Amino acid sequence: MKHHVKNTASAASFALYKIGQLAKYLDHKSTERLVHAFITSRLDYCNSLLYGIPSTELSKLQLIQNSAARLVTRSKKHDHITPILRDLHWLPLHLRIRYKVALLAFKAIHGMAPSYLTDLVASYSPQRRLRSSSETLLCRPRRCNTRFYGDRCFSAAAPEVWNNLPWDLREAPHLNRFKKDLKTYLFSCF
């Protein structure tokens, strides 16, 4: 995973440098489009695989996103980043990863995901009648023997993220509503 993070950070840094050279000739909207095309797309590519990686690795990619946000808003290097990300309506990287895992879990539960993902999640059904019986929860798999990768696999990450979502969010009637409410919820966590 370190190799993937290193390559992504390197490619995104180079793109950020090139966009930075052009920034004085671009308006805000054009700069933001270039950042989304060449930087955000790289940070979001396969980012659900980054769930559970050490924060030291994730911080390398977060620095890229922070620099991109500063470039788009023409902010100074030492300005606090949280208000800038909120103004742009960008989730920080760790929340973008949770968003992607929750979205994949929703699709797997509702049969909108490929079978290789749908087969990895199982609904939780207690043997006795409980108050939580009516909730859409996922079964957590037994702990894997692999200490580093077992908790990061989709079959373990999806139930962890999904079961920690609020009840009304898990019960969203359709995908578009779920996406909208999920982003709103994650922004409230930010």
Return the closest-CA partner of residue 91 out of 171, 179, 2, 163.
179
Q: Which residue has the higher pLDDT, 27 or 130?
A: 27
pLDDT-derived band at 96, boundaries 50, 70, 90: very high
Contacts of 179 (CB under 8 A, 6+ apart): 103
User: Quick one: DSSP state of residue 23?
Assistant: G
CA atoms within 13 A on the CB side of 181: 16
Please report, for residues 23, 51, 71, the alpha-carbon distance to residue 37 in angstroms, rounded to integers and kept in the order given.
Answer: 15, 23, 14
Is residue 54 within 8 A of residue 102, CB to CB? The reply is no
Q: How confident is the model at residue 119 (pLDDT cuts 50, 70, 90)?
A: confident
| Beta pairing partners, 138 | 123
What pTM value is reported for the model?
A: 0.86
Mean pLDDT of the chain: 89
Among the listed residues 48, 44, 185, 45, the one whose alpha carbon sits nearest the alpha carbon of residue 120: 48
Per-domain residue ranges for the chain? 2-90, 96-189
Are 96 and 69 within 8 A, CB to CB? no
Give tens-digit pLDDT for 42-84: 999 989 899 989 999 999 999 999 999 999 999 999 999 999 9
Q: What is the pLDDT of residue 88?
A: 96
pLDDT at 153: 84
Angle at 80 between CA 78 and CA 85, to 5 degrees: 125
To which residue do tokens 């980043």 refer? 81
In contact, 84 and 32? CB cutoff 8 Å: no
> Does 118 have pLDDT greater than 90?
no
